[in-house]
Structure 1
């Protein structure tokens, strides 16, 4: 499968728009479109950035770019946490039950460190109040 098709497929599997990916990568949406249609080829640093945001090995993205490379039968998508991690399973379950949380987390991903810290502190304070309220 071509790099352009892989990029499009990965984005669609995540449920992301080209605009969202463009914001994450700090490029124009038309740039993402050109990569996905094969009209432009991303440079190596951009491929690394795609691999990071889509959580895939860079080799998966560039395999067909190297004429010497052989197609490997390893899975493209990687789970970076221990698959036996019960907390991660609970988080994934919550994301399935509450898709709005996923949207919030995706928006939060694009915040700078200062805004992320503000969100964390606000959510912690809010949850503390809720625990207090239940008693």
Structure 2
């Protein structure tokens, strides 16, 4: 457990949120791809994700915008709404769950690339992060 914690600390505090990722303030799409898809995505699927901000519902609205037919997003929206209606946090998640509905961890998937009009995962990452920066549900 401690080794995962140290590993995650070395990546960044604002890298992974439930169904989203941090803004590219000082980094690049290449660095975010490496952190999210290669490093975090390489952890065991049952690795729990504890992010420091409650952006889940906002992020899920964007995820739904990107992947309209992804049923995992709909399930997660329903579950997150139930939790928030009880004043409960949506945190934690797992790496395995994030791979199902987080568009930034799914930039290699056809529907996400099609949405971004890109065929390269890094270009897709750049495109959807820029779109998310200005997204209003």
Specify the TM-score bucket, using the shorter chain as the normaliser: under 0.3
Choose between structure 1 and 2 for higher RCO, CA contacts under 8 A separated by at least 6 residues. Answer: 2
Higher normalized helix content (fraction of residues): 1
Per the normalisation by structure 1, the TM-score is 0.27
Per the normalisation by structure 2, the TM-score is 0.26
